[in-house]
Amino acid sequence: MAITAAGISGWEISSNSASPPVAHAAHELRSHLRRVGAAGSTPGVIEVRAAPGTNDAFEVAVENDRVVISGESPRGALNGAYWLLEELGFAWIEPGEGGIAFSAPAPLDSGVYSQSPAFPRRTLILGQDALHDEWQDWMEWASRNRLNDLFFHDTPPSRPGRTSPRPVDAAALAEDGGGWLFERWDADGRAIAAAASRRGMSLQFGGHHLPTLLPRALFGDHPGWFPLRNGERDPRFNLCVSAPGAIGHLQEAAAAFVARFSGADIYHIWPDDIPGGGWCECSPCSALSPSDQALIATNAIAEAVARAAPGARVAYLAYHDTVTPPEFARPSANVTILWAPRERCYAHSFADPACAKNEKEYLEPFLGLLDMLGDDLSRLQVFEYYSDAILFKGLAPAHLGVLPADARGYAAAGVTNLQNLMVGDRPWLGPPWHAWWMARCAWDPT
Ligand SMILES: [Zn+2]
Ligand SMILES: [Zn+2]
């Protein structure tokens, strides 16, 4: 025997748990099946069950008059509900109610189906204001595609201390030149955290905010807090990690940052977004590589965050001149490593030995970072660029084979969090479409 969406649309839906993601699963089943409801459907029941674990896996048992969705966690049960809806013909190609597609497939046979994701954490990075403005739609879309983590990232960085409202016309916005994520979080942060919790999703927040926390205007009073470059203190980028005053100021500002933008699980307070040349050459710093200086700064931030937001973690960004592993510094307990190989080759998969560029410039340092983390690979996050319209403009090649091959390689290396940066959501068939494809590959890249 087998079931169809129309055939089960009138079935009772019950659950064994008061957990919000389980209630959301029941709500989603009801609202989707109602769309295809047929008169006179036979009686039956859909049971949604959740164990109190943290694993996203689930099992769905299909019988003639009964479907049992059993999640290993509440989020696992929600994943099971979406898996069932997909098998019955639903798809969430684009965000918003208009992006819900349905085409009746072959009926789903009776049997027991089990699924477990390749990556425990699967992340959509919303990389600009236009996406943050529509965060409800993007969160629901990500959740329906079984992503379980949303990263609010601002490109370009937002600015602290603004008093004027966000401009509404394009020319004024362009002249302003900054992101408006801070104001968005001030207004919606609590609602974002509540909506994420209802879906069993976690949140990440931030971007290149080390310079936000150490304003360049401090240079006049404290030139020694800034990097020595070519024999002179230079206020343009980063800081001198050997200056106790700079570290102290950074820590105070980091504590205020996570207090203001509470609700995230991982914070991103990265150095300046430059290819290199922003670190210090003073006597103590000259012995430290850019990666060492960046990790020392990240550890200092993490120490303040451990006090201000216990349980939250801080990401060290391995990117541009900090891709090479640090020689001396080691990440503190609440520091994760964020691998962001922006200039890698996307014609070949990350782990493809046929690609000299990826092997020499990225695979080697990546393996070095794995070595540094030892057996604690849960701290390794991968920040990928499949939906980045800044990197790919409007013309991303379809990464049909590269993306799943990347996912297989990263999963085999022990990475637990695969992320996909989205900047620009139009046209959907350009870079943005990869958000949908990445969600599928992060679940099952085989
Ligand atoms: Zn220095
Ligand atoms: Zn290549």
Question: What is the CATH classification number for the domain harbouring 138?
Answer: 3.20.20.80
User: With bands split at pLDDT 50, 70 and 90, how would you rate the model's confidence at 303?
Assistant: very high
Based on the fold, state whether residues 142 and 106 are members of the same structural domain.
no
Structure tokens at 420: 């996909």
Q: Are residues 71 and 134 in the same domain?
A: no
Mean pLDDT value across residues 251-276: 97
Residue 434's pLDDT band (cuts 50, 70, 90) = confident
User: Which ligand neighbours the alpha carbon of 363 most closely?
Assistant: 2
186/127 same-domain check: yes
Please say if the pLDDT value at position 421 is more than 90: yes
Amino acid in position 62: V
Report the separation in Å between the CA atom of 279 and the middle of ligand 1, taken as the mean of its atom positions.
Answer: 8
Q: How far is the CA of 439 from the centre of ligand 2 (A)?
A: 23
pLDDT band, residue 159 (cuts 50/70/90): very high
Residues within 5 Å of ion ligand 2, judged at the Cβ atom: 345, 347-348, 355
Of 115, 141, 170, the last residue of a domain is 115
Say yes or no to pLDDT of 38 above 70: no
Domain that holds residue 38: 2-115
Determine the pLDDT at residue 153: 98
40, pLDDT greater than 80: no
**Same-domain check for residues 129 and 169:** yes
Kindly give the distance from the C-alpha atom of residue 368 to the centroid of ligand 2, in angstroms, as a whole number: 20
The reported pLDDT for the residue numbered 207 is 98
83, 115, 147: which is the final residue of a domain?
Answer: 115
The enclosing domain of 12 has a CATH number of 3.30.379.10
Is 193 exposed, middle or buried (CB count within 10 Å of its CB: 0-12, 13-18, 19+)?
A: middle
Ligand (nearest to CA of 348): 2
Q: Do 66 and 149 fall within a single domain? A: no
pLDDT class for 104, splitting at 50, 70, 90? confident
- Whether residues 95 and 148 share a domain: the answer is no
Q: What's the pLDDT score for residue 170?
A: 86
Quick one: pLDDT band at residue 70, thresholds 50, 70, 90? Answer: very high
Q: Which residues on adjacent β-strands are paired with residue 239?
A: none
pLDDT reported for residue 424 = 83
Would the pLDDT of 97 be above 80? yes
Question: What is the CA(110)–ligand 1 centre distance, in A?
Answer: 66
Q: Do residues 86 and 144 share a domain?
A: no
**Ligand 1 centroid distance, CA of 159 (Å):** 26
d(CA 23, CA 229): 57
Q: How far apart are CA 204 and CA 351, in angstroms?
A: 27
In a shared domain, residues 85 and 141: no
The closest of 427, 382, 345 to 122, measured between CA atoms, is 382
Nearest ligand, CA 360:
2
- Domain boundary among the residues 68, 85, 115 is at 115
Residues 161 and 304 occupy one common structural domain: yes
pLDDT-based confidence at residue 39 (cuts at 50, 70, 90): low
Structure tokens at 171: 């020319």
Task: Output 356-365 pairs: Cβ under 8 A, ≥24 positions apart.
Answer: 361/323, 362/323, 365/318, 365/323, 365/324, 365/325
The one-letter amino acid code at 349 reads S
Is residue 110 domain-shared with residue 165, that is, in the same domain? no
- Whether 323 and 289 have beta carbons less than 8 Å apart is answered as no
The C-alpha atoms of residue 41 and residue 88 are separated, in whole angstroms, by 15
pLDDT at 286 over 70: yes
pLDDT digits (tens, 9 = 90+) for 120-138: 999 999 999 999 999 999 9
Mean residue pLDDT of the chain comes to 94
Q: What is the pLDDT of residues 354-377, one digit of tens each?
A: 999 999 999 999 999 999 998 888
Whole-number Å distance, alpha carbon 228 to ligand 1 midpoint, is: 6
Based on the fold, state whether residues 159 and 107 are members of the same structural domain: no
Considering the domain architecture, whether residues 100 and 140 belong to the same structural domain is answered as no
Number of domains comprising the chain: 2
Q: What ligand is nearest to the CA atom of residue 284?
A: 1
Sign of the Cα torsion 161, 163, 166, 167 reads: negative
d(CA 167, CA 179): 11
| Tokens matching residue 112 | 């027991």
